[in-house]
Amino acid sequence: MNRAVIPEGPKLRKISPSRIAIYVFLGVSAIFFLLPVYVMIITSLKPMAEIRTGNLFAFPREITLDAWAKAWSSACTGRVCEGISPGMLNSFKIAIPGTLFPVILGAINGYALSFWRFRGANLVFTMLLVSTFVPIQVFIFPLVRMMTATGLFGTLPGIILIHTGFTLPITTLLFRNFYAAVPEEMFSAARIDGGGFWSIFGYVLLPISTPIVIVAVILQFTGSWNDYLFGLIFAGRENQPMTVLLTSIVTSQYGEKEYNVNMAATMLAAMVPLMVYFASGRWFVRGISDGALKG
């Protein structure tokens, strides 16, 4: 396999003009993806005077955390001026149960659909699959009515229920596809040993489910943290998540906009998913390709 005998044609692993072109293109793309984040960070560290006179891309002459302090605790969302901090707690209060319930239920569902093929299991599976395609706008009006009728509209349990319901199909599909790859013999052996529905789940399948649990948790958590529409409609004034508060801070300013405060608030809202992203590394990538390709 001596490639040198072929006189023409590009070869791998050689510093050629095409190699350089590849790195240049990747570098330029990296700038395109990083620049907005860079601008967001430096703008949040500048005082307004410098934003008005200086260049957008220039590093701050004078670094100040005033905008961050204001964004955190005193920026106004309409009439209330408490900053974005209440939203952080609310987002956790929504995203943590909004992750646990769909993941736990999704695991059970995926297990039931893969191994306990009860009558109608295929129908349920198909309906779950189809439901992931339906635009949420179709359900808003009936859901508002149903939630109001049950007294759940604008409450914390209400918004958690909404998150759980709408992401359940996705977590179920994730787990169902993961369990579909588990050898059937493992399950039948456990059945012969007298294992029941729950004991087989707990002793046989759960211990091997760690990878898919991690993937599902990451996807669910960032997904419910980043949600805007459900939070806006169903969370109610008391439980507004960060995304909703952020939008009110940015859109409700009168007079000159405080861009540094806006950027600091945006950074604060972006921080948790970014931390999850950088901490999870390859798992996030896996989550996206698993979630997408097997659906």
Residues with Cβ within 8 Å of residue 9, at least 6 apart in sequence: none
Max Cα distance, the chain (Å): 78
Return the number of the residue (93 or 286) whose C-beta is nearest other proteins: 286
Radius of gyration of the chain (CA): 25
Alpha-carbon separation of residue 105 from 182, 199, 222 (angstroms):
19, 16, 18
Alpha-carbon dihedral angle through residues 278, 280, 283, 284, given to the nearest 10 degrees = -50
CB 129 within 8 Å of CB 169: yes
CB 84 within 8 Å of CB 269: yes
User: Whole-angstrom Cα distance, residue 275 to residue 281?
Assistant: 10
Residues with Cβ within 8 Å of residue 115, at least 6 apart in sequence: 179, 187, 200
The pair phi, psi for residue 189, each rounded to 5°, is: -60, -45
CB 201 within 8 Å of CB 108: yes
At residue 76's C-alpha, the angle toward residues 75 and 77, to 5°, is 125
Alpha-carbon separation of residue 167 from 83, 98, 183 (angstroms):
29, 9, 27
Phi-psi map region of 112: left, alpha, beta (phi>0 left; psi -120 to 50 alpha): alpha
